[in-house]
Structure 1
């Protein structure tokens, strides 16, 4: 006698398989991130030293990457893990009036580059997030950062991609776009943890300038 699996059960099994595939891709991305821990230590330390000298962080991305860029700047202006002073960090996509005005007047490829030229100074850090590494507006922003003397770091998907090739340093992760984007948030939290620890060690236990 053949037992027919109810449609609901078959649907549930298909959904479970989809989720398991997603988790497997996520684990691949996290495994890739473990190999990037030394880079994150170097970035967090360097970023703290720069911002303590009065430099600024500019961050940007499109879609979900924009949300993660804004998450990063919120952690820097606010705090991540324990008390410390606030530091200057701007998510360039968050100024909707500037974004829409620039896009209207100059085209969407210029929405970040023009702001980098306006806000960026020598010694600042520009962080760009992209799962594909192919967004024209991010590539234009890298060129703008170079003209003002800012350092560029990218978090993106696996190599090769144009953004990883264009920036000063890139943290590239394997996996699907969703898995890479989720793991980018983990990478940012690791970066912030190093940043906060470095700031406190430079300022002393009180964490005040």
Structure 2
């Protein structure tokens, strides 16, 4: 039992340490504010947000899309958002016909308009299908954000807004990505619908 409580305390300590680093990183906060401002402008212009990730980050993409379409903290009109991770027919068709690397980029090519924006979530910054999606955004002049970690990996050079959080473990990185996602949605709600 003692080792379980030690593991829990160690994980909480790691989470707190990473969040303190995030709290002290003013450059990251400036980059995040610029990304949020562009999402707000896209919504004002009638656009939508497409979101994608793999594994736990796929779940985070769906989580965030749900909060935009439903609500985070207040009753308000729905905001158009879509996780590109949910349609098994599309995912398996593209994966089978074109390869797993194309499962998000091909959806962007078929769905996104010039008014929209893309958010990719990859803890490594090296997820090939996220990189392909970011390359597709470049081809379409579609603004992009990536939530990633450490040095940002290859995604850093492809995304318009690279938000690379601290953290050694994937679990800690994903916790910070959720903080960013909730803050993004909360800020968009406030900008478009006024303060609570």
Q: TM-score, normalised by structure 1?
A: 0.85
Deviation (angstroms), 1:41: 3.3
| Stretch moving more, 75-84 or 171-180 | 75-84
Higher mean displacement: 115-124 or 140-149:
115-124
The answer to whether residue 52 in structure 2 is matched with residue 60 in structure 1 is yes
Deviation at 1:160, TM superposition (A): 4.5
Q: Is residue 2:140 matched to residue 1:155?
A: no
Q: CA deviation at 1:128?
A: 0.4
Q: SS of 1:82's equivalent?
A: coil
Alignment partner, residue 7 of structure 2: 18
Contact 1:61–1:129 at 8 Å: present in 2 too?
A: yes
> Does structure 2 conserve the Cα–Cα contact (< 8 Å) formed by 1:123 and 1:151?
no
Indicate if the aligned counterparts of 1:153 and 1:168 stay in contact, CA closer than 8 A.
Answer: yes
Candidates 28, 41, 62, aligned match of 1:70: 62
8 Å CA contact retained: 2:45, 2:115: no
**For 2:176, which of 183, 195, 202 is the aligned residue?**
183
| Runs of 4 or more above 6 Å deviation | none
- TM-score normalised over the length of structure 2: 0.90
Once the two structures are superposed, the pairs formed by residues 1-209 of structure 1 within 5 Å of their partners are 12-34=1-23, 35=25, 36-175=28-167, 176-201=169-194
Residue aligned with 1:20, SS: helix
Determine the C-alpha separation between the residues in 2 that align with 1:85 and 1:166.
Answer: 32
* Gap runs ≥5 in structure 1: 1-11
Alpha-carbon distance in 2 for matches of 1:139, 1:186: 23
Q: Distance in 1 between matches of 2:39 and 2:54?
A: 23
CA distance in 1, matches of 2:31, 2:152: 18
CA distance in 2, matches of 1:147, 1:72: 25
**Matched residues in 2 for 1:97 and 1:40: separation?**
34
Cα RMSD over matched residues?
1.8
Distance 1:154 1:17 in 2: 33
Q: Which has the larger radius of gyration?
A: 1
Contact in 1 for aligned 2:124/2:152 (Cα 8 Å): no
**Any idea what SS the aligned residue of 2:174 has?**
helix
- Between Structure 1 and Structure 2, how many residues are aligned? 192
